[in-house]
A and B are shown apart, each in its own frame.
Chain A
Amino acid sequence: MSDNRYNAIVIGAGHNGLAAAATLAAKGKSVCVLERANQIGGMSKSASLGGATVPEIAHLLYNLSPTVAKELQLSLDTRALPTIALAADGNHVHIQGNKASYADKRAHPDAQAFADLQARLKKFAALLGKLADSPPPSLSGGLLAAGNLKEIGKLAKLGWGLKRLGKKDMREFLRIILSNAYDLILDEMADGPLAGAVAADAVRGAYAGPRSPGTVFSLMYRLGNGGDVRLPMGGMGAVIGAFETVARKRGVDIRTAVQIERLVVAADHVQGVLLTDGTTIHAETVLSSIGGMQTMRYAGVQHFDVEAARRMRNLRNKGTSAKVNLVLSGLPAFTGLTAEQMAGRLLIAPSALAVERAFNPAKYGEISPEPLIEAVIPSLTDKAAAPDGTHVLSAVVSYVPYALAGGWTDAARAKLQETVLETLERYAPGIRGLVSHAQVLSPADIEEMTGAPGGHWHHAEMGVDQILTVRPANLVSRYGFGLGGLYLCGASAHPGGDVMGAAGRNAALQVIADGIPG
C-alpha cells in the first residue's frame, strides 16, 4: 500500500511472522511484514557457505504444524529421516518411527521397551497436541462469565480425552507429565545410545538436563505431531519460501532490511510502527514475532503494568544450542554406517547420563567438552545442497551457553568448532581433513541474527512455568500483550517453538476473534 496504512503489521519475517501474516491476509486483512535482516526466514533460512547451501540455523522439521501446513497450503517436499544414535563402540542404533535396531540390523535388546515407550508417549502427546491449535484455555472472569462457554468446552474436551485414555493410562499420564525424562527412560531401558537419543530429544534447545523436571513434557511436545524428523528438499530456505509464497499470493507486503525505532502508541492503543529511517507505517494492530522483552522495549515500558514488565524481565530464555555448519570436500566415513544411514539424523548422545553430564558445564558458563550433537548431511538426500562431490554437514550443538564466561570471542567460537570436530572425529575419523569451510554460531550470535531472546530455540524455555496458560508468562497466553492492538505471535507464545508456525497462526486468529479495526 502506498500510503503506508495497513490493517496489521507483523514484526519479523520468520515462519511464525509469515504464518500470522498469511492467516490474517486470508481473512481479507492488509498486512505488512517488517524484517530487520536483509533476508526473510529468521531461524529457518538457507545460507551459502563456500559455494554450498547450508541450513543456517534450524536444519530439520520436527514439528511443522499439520494445521498450518493445511491452512496455508504450504507446498513443501520433505523426506522423513531415520535417526542414528552413534555409539563409541560402533554399536550404532537405527531408529525409524517406533522401531529400533542396531545399525547392522541386529535386534536391539530394548527394542520392545522403546516401542512401548514411544507408543505411550505419542498417545499422550496427541492429546496435548490438540491444545496446540488454539489459544490455551482461559477462565478469567470465572466459570459463568460471558464468552467462557467455549473455554469450558475446550477444557471439557481435554478432560474427556484424558478420561478416554482409560484409568491406567490416565493415571500414567498424570504421573509422568511433570516428571523428568531421565527416570522415565531408564525405568524402561538400559542406559546407552538409544536411551541417550530419547533423552537428547527431550532437552534439545532447552536449558535443562534430562533429570530436570518438565522434560517429559518437552519430549511429548516434540512428539506432538507424530515425532517424524523431516528434511526439507531445497533446504530451510524452501520452507520459509513456502510460507513467503503463500503470504505474497495473499497480498502481504514483506519489507526486509528495515529497522524499527519504536511502536507508535496513542490512547492506550498501538497506531503503527516508526522506522529508524523516519517512515511511519500505520496499523492499529501489531503482531510481534520477536521476544516479549524487545517488543515491550519497542512499545515503551511505560505503557505496561509493572507486573508485566517484571514477568518479561524474568522470562527464562537462556539459549543452549549453537550451530556449526561445515562444508566438506568429500563424503566423510562414519565408522559402521552405510551411506544411506549417514543421510539420517546422526545423534551423538552416548547415554542419558552423558546428556545430563553435558548440561553441567553450561550452568557455569562453559562449553561442554562432551557436547551433544545432532548432525545431518543434507547433501546426501538433496543433491542440490552442495556442488558435485562436496557435502554439507549441519550440526546443532548443545549444551553451549548463551552467556559464555569470558564472552563470545572469535577464539571462543574457534574452540567450539574444535570441540565439535574432535567429537565428530571419534565417529568419522578423517572428517577434520575434509572441512573446507566452517560457520560457527553461538546462541549469542543467533540472538543477534534473529532477535530470538537468549538465542533460545523456543524464545522462552518450555518449562512448566512457561507453557500453556502461562506461556510465555501469566496474562499473555492469549497473545494480547498489554496495549490495545499489540500481540505476541512468535515462538515465545503458545504453543512454542520449533519450525511449527502454530504460534503465528493462532495469534492471527485471536486478532480476528478480538476484532481488528479497519
Chain B
Amino acid sequence: MAKPKHVPMGLLETPFFSRLNALSRVKSWTGWAGYISPLVLDTLEFEYFAIRNQATLFDISPMHKYRISGPDAPAVVNRLVTRDVSKIRDGRVGYVMWCDEEGMLIDDGTLFRFSTDDFRLCCQEPMLTWLLDSAWGFDVQIVDESDSIAALSLQGPTSWSLLNDAGLGGAAQLKPFDWREVEPDIWVSRTGFTGDLGYEIWVPKAKATALWDRLWAAGAHWGLRAIGYEALNLCRVEAGFIAAGVDFQPVHAAMRLHRGRTPIELGFDKMVHFDKGHFNGRRALLAQRKLGQRYALAKIDIAGFKPADGALLYHRKKKEVGFVTSGVWSPTTKRNIALAEFKTPYGLDIVDDLWAEIYVNQEGKWDKRLVPVTLQDKPFFINDRARVTPPRPF
C-alpha cells in the first residue's frame, strides 16, 4: 500500500539542511517561515567577521518567492508596490514596499525582473493570497515558488573571487541590483542584506546541493564560512536595513489596532512614487503627506557600548518619545548603533537632547543609565567595495 501523503508536520528542512547540519557546532536553530534555519553555526564572532572580511554563505531558501507573469504583470506589480516599477529594466532588481489601503506597510522585498511581463517577488511574509487578490481582474499568473526555488546568499569582500573560482565568472559585470542567468538554471543577483559586496544565487530545488558543494569546494582559499541569522543581523543593522516584524510590524500579521506604519514613517518617502498612477494605499499616503507622519524611524548612534535593543528614548531626559527597534554593538565601526522609532516631531524636527534609557546588569546588580543619542542620516557601514564594478579581487 502506498504511504499516505500528509501535510508535513513541524519545521521543514531546506535543500541545504544536510550541509548546514554537518557544519553546525552549536545546533542553534530557529524556525523561519516554516523551515529550519541556523541562528549560529559556530560562533557569532567568527561568522560576523567572516561577512566583513572573507566570504559567507547564508541559506535564504525560506524566503517567500512568487512568480508574477503575463500580459498584465507590469500593471499588477505597479499597482501592488509604491515605487514606479516601469523604471526597473530587464535584468534588474528593485527594493520594493507594498501597502494596504490605509498606506500601512504589508511587507518589503526585492522584485526581480526577468522581462517586461515576468517578475519574481521575494519577501519575508507569506503573500500568495494578497497577490491573488491584487491580480483579480488582470490577465496575469501568480505562482508560489517558495518551495521550488532554493537560494544562497554569498556575502563578503572575497565573494566575487570565490564566485569566479567556482566557475561563475559570468557575474563579473553585474552592478549592484543587476541579475543574470550565468549558467542554465543558475541566476545570480548582486544583492544582499549586509551592505557589503555580495550575491544571491537562485537555483531550482533539485540543483541546490550541487550549488552548495561547488561553492564550498572553491571556498577554502577565500575563507568561506557558513553563517546563521545572528551574524547577518549585526550586518544588516550596520547597513541600516529594516527587518519585518522587528523595525516594522507587517500590517496583515499585526493583531492590534494602529500597529501599522507607512513607508513615509519608515523613512522611505523616496520609494513612494505618487506620479505613477494609482497604487495600493496611494490615497492614504497622499493624505499622510498632507497631514504629516505620526512616526519616524531613524538611524541613531548611542553613547557607550552597551547594545540598546528595546531601550526607551527620551527628550530632555523626561518625555518618552520612542524606542529602539534594533540595537547592536557594531564591531566594524566600533559604535553602539540602532534603528529607532520616534513619535513625531521627535526624530524628525526635534533631534537634539535625546536620550536612551539603558539597563545594565553588572554581575547581579542592575543599574540604569541615560546616555545621549545622535541621529545619523547615512548607513553606519559604508564601503565602496560594495559598489565597484567589476568587483575587486581579494
Task: Name A's B-contacting residues (CB within 8 A).
Answer: 268, 297, 301-310, 313, 475, 482
Tell me the chain B residues, 73-89 only, with Cβ under 8 Å from chain A. Answer: 75, 79-80
Contact pick for A309, options B100, B137, B277, B283, CB 8 Å = B137
In the bound complex, do residue A306 and residue B283 qualify as a contact, i.e. CB atoms below 8 Å apart?
no
The tally of CB-CB contacts under 8 A between chains A and B is: 40
Chain B residues contacting A301 (CB-CB under 8 Å) are 136-138
Complex Cα distance, B79 from A302, in Å, reads 7
In the bound complex, do residue B278 and residue A306 qualify as a contact, i.e. CB atoms below 8 Å apart?
no
Contact pick for B101, options A297, A303, A308, CB 8 Å = A308
Residue of B nearest to A297 (CB): B137
Chain B residues contacting A306 (CB-CB under 8 Å) are 79-80, 100-101, 130, 133-134, 136, 280
Complex Cα distance, B281 from A442, in Å, reads 40
Known interface pairs A302-B138, A306-B100, A306-B134; 19 further A-B residue pairs with C-beta atoms within 8 A, sorted by A's residue number: A297-B137, A301-B137, A301-B138, A302-B75, A302-B79, A302-B277, A303-B278, A305-B101, A305-B280, A305-B281, A306-B79, A306-B130, A306-B280, A307-B101, A308-B101, A309-B133, A309-B136, A310-B133, A310-B136
Q: Does B282 contact A (CB under 8 A)?
A: yes
In the bound complex, do residue A302 and residue B278 qualify as a contact, i.e. CB atoms below 8 Å apart?
yes
In the bound complex, do residue B137 and residue A268 qualify as a contact, i.e. CB atoms below 8 Å apart?
no
B281 smallest CB distance to A (angstroms) = 7
User: Is the contact region of chain A dominated by helix, strand, or loop, or is it mixed?
Assistant: helix
Chain A residues contacting B134 (CB-CB under 8 Å) are 306
What are the 5 closest A-B residue pairs judged by CB atoms, nearest first? A301-B137, A305-B101, A307-B101, A306-B134, A303-B278
Chain A residues contacting B80 (CB-CB under 8 Å) are 306
30 contacts between A and B (CB under 8 A): A268-B282, A268-B283, A297-B137, A301-B136, A301-B138, A302-B79, A302-B137, A302-B138, A302-B277, A302-B278, A303-B278, A305-B100, A305-B101, A305-B280, A305-B283, A306-B79, A306-B80, A306-B101, A306-B133, A306-B134, A306-B136, A306-B280, A307-B100, A308-B101, A309-B136, A309-B137, A310-B133, A310-B136, A313-B136, A482-B283
* Interface residues as binary, B121-165 with A (CB distance below 8 Å gives 1, 0 otherwise): 000000000100110111000000000000000000000000000
Chain B residues contacting A304 (CB-CB under 8 Å) are 278
In the bound complex, do residue B278 and residue A268 qualify as a contact, i.e. CB atoms below 8 Å apart?
yes
Chain A residues contacting B283 (CB-CB under 8 Å) are 268, 305, 482
- Point out which of A297, A305, A309, A482 has the most chain B C-beta atoms below 10 A from its C-beta: A305
Complex Cα distance, B130 from A301, in Å, reads 15
Complex Cα distance, B130 from A305, in Å, reads 12
- Report the interface size for chain B: residues with CB under 8 A from the other chain: 17
Chain A residues contacting B136 (CB-CB under 8 Å) are 301, 306, 309-310, 313
Chain A residues contacting B133 (CB-CB under 8 Å) are 306, 309-310
A295 smallest CB distance to B (angstroms) = 13
Chain A residues contacting B101 (CB-CB under 8 Å) are 305-308, 475
Complex Cα distance, B277 from A482, in Å, reads 14
Chain B residues contacting A303 (CB-CB under 8 Å) are 278
Complex Cα distance, B282 from A408, in Å, reads 42
Complex Cα distance, B100 from A310, in Å, reads 12
B333 smallest CB distance to A (angstroms) = 41
A431 smallest CB distance to B (angstroms) = 48
Residue of A nearest to B135 (CB): A306
Complex Cα distance, B100 from A475, in Å, reads 14
- Point out which of B130, B137, B282 has the most chain A C-beta atoms below 10 A from its C-beta: B137
A289 smallest CB distance to B (angstroms) = 22
- Point out which of A301, A302, A308, A309 has the most chain B C-beta atoms below 10 A from its C-beta: A302
B142 smallest CB distance to A (angstroms) = 13
Chain A residues contacting B282 (CB-CB under 8 Å) are 268
Residue of A nearest to B79 (CB): A302
Chain B residues contacting A297 (CB-CB under 8 Å) are 137
A35 smallest CB distance to B (angstroms) = 26
Chain A residues contacting B130 (CB-CB under 8 Å) are 306
Tell me the chain B residues, 267-311 only, with Cβ under 8 Å from chain A. Answer: 277-278, 280-283
A468 smallest CB distance to B (angstroms) = 20
Chain B residues contacting A268 (CB-CB under 8 Å) are 278, 282-283
- Point out which of A268, A305, A306 has the most chain B C-beta atoms below 10 A from its C-beta: A306
A160 smallest CB distance to B (angstroms) = 28
Complex Cα distance, B283 from A302, in Å, reads 13
Complex Cα distance, B281 from A30, in Å, reads 33
* Interface residues as binary, B81-103 with A (CB distance below 8 Å gives 1, 0 otherwise): 00000000000000000001100
Complex Cα distance, B283 from A475, in Å, reads 13
B323 smallest CB distance to A (angstroms) = 23
Complex Cα distance, B347 from A39, in Å, reads 63
Complex Cα distance, B283 from A297, in Å, reads 19
B164 smallest CB distance to A (angstroms) = 44
Complex Cα distance, B134 from A310, in Å, reads 9
Complex Cα distance, B101 from A475, in Å, reads 10
Complex Cα distance, B134 from A475, in Å, reads 18
